[in-house]
């Protein structure tokens, strides 16, 4: 049994509860405990005055406790005999939730939250965690109950994908799913650009992609693999896969969310995993 937990951030919103359902199923697959965390947002005027009356602090804590209780109920509805731990967090929600994922198997959040007074602004949490989480981050959007039998992994540089491919192959193996490796390239056409040039680029990219996947095929012989090479903007291409994949996986370099990640997170119709590069 894995000792690292699956951590899920909640705020009582329906989107965060769907993220809890996804996290609970994922914890069951990995034989891992589930840790639910919640940090209530301090009202902006309280930030400006540098203080927070005890009554407000108590109300914020109560909101977190209620959100966690509801999340436990939702997790128990989708899976049984799962070890569940809950933790109200103090401090700014984005930072607190992101830090809570340190040492976790993965951190799971919704794309948006309830917002407003005494609520965790989960939209800002997902954006911050996408840049700073030290473990894989999964951002859950919309309905996630349908099973498609595919894990999609976006490959930019085939030589720098170790952590990303390890995560994607492990997910495909656990789910009995096909792994679809997608390389997308976007080049503006010019007067000297011929169809044969595009065919050559696609062929070379496909060859490089196949070579990079070879050791992973050997390590996971039971995982069917398909390679897709597409001429279009990578973010838009990967977003199109989210409606027909169980999970779309991409890598992250450094602490910046680039154009690809931003486009994918903005237009995704299903869960997206962002895997930080191993140092």
For the segment 188-205, what is each residue's pLDDT rounded down to a tens digit? Answer: 555 555 666 677 778 888
**pTM of the entire structure?**
0.87
For the segment 199-255, what is each residue's pLDDT rounded down to a tens digit? Answer: 777 888 888 889 889 999 999 999 999 999 988 888 889 999 999 999 999 998 766
For the segment 71-122, what is each residue's pLDDT rounded down to a tens digit? Answer: 999 999 999 889 999 999 988 889 999 999 999 999 999 987 554 433 344 4
Question: What's the pLDDT at 48?
Answer: 43
Three-state DSSP string of the chain? CCCCCEEEECCCCHHHHHHHHHHHHHHHHHCCCEEEEECCCCCHHHHHHCCCCHHHHHHHHHHHHHHHHHHHHHHHHHCCCCCEEEEECCCCHHHHHHHHCCCCCEEEEECCCCCCCCCCCHHHHHHHHHHHCCCCEEEECCCCCCCCCEEEEECCCCCCCHHHHHHHHHHHHHHCCEEEEEEEECCCCCCCCCHHHHHHHHHHHHHHHHHHHHHHHHHCCCCCEEEEEEECCHHHHHHHHCCCCCEEEEEECCCCCCHHHHHHHHHCCCCEEEEECCC
């Amino acid at each position: 049994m894995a000792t690292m937990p699956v951590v899920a951030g909640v705020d009582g919103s329906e989107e965060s509860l769907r993220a809890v359902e996804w996290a609970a199923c994922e914890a069951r697959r990995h034989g891992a405990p589930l840790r639910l965390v919640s940090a209530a947002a301090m009202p902006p005027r309280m930030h400006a005055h540098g203080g927070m009356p005890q009554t407000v602090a108590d109300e914020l804590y109560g909101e977190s406790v209620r959100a966690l209780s509801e999340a436990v109920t939702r997790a128990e509805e989708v899976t049984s005999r799962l070890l569940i731990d809950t933790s109200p967090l103090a401090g700014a929600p984005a930072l607190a939730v992101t830090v809570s994922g340190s040492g976790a198997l993965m951190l799971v959040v919704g794309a948006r939250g309830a917002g407003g007074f005494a609520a965790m602004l989960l939209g800002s949490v997902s954006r911050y965690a996408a840049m700073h989480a030290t473990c894989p981050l999964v951002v859950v959007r919309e309905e996630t109950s349908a099973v498609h039998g595919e894990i999609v992994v976006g490959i930019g540089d085939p030589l720098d994908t170790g952590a990303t491919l390890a995560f994607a192959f492990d997910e495909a193996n656990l789910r009995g799913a096909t792994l679809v490796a997608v390389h997308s390239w976007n080049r503006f056409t010019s007067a000297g650009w011929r169809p044969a040039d595009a065919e050559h680029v696609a062929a070379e990219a496909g060859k490089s992609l196949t070579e990079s996947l070879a050791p992973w095929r050997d390590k996971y012989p039971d995982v069917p693999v398909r390679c897709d090479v597409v001429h279009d903007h990578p973010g838009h291409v990967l977003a199109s896969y989210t409606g027909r994949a169980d999970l779309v996986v991409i890598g992250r370099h450094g602490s910046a969310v680039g154009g690809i990640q931003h486009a994918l997170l903005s237009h995704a119709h299903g869960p997206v995993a962002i895997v930080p590069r191993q140092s």
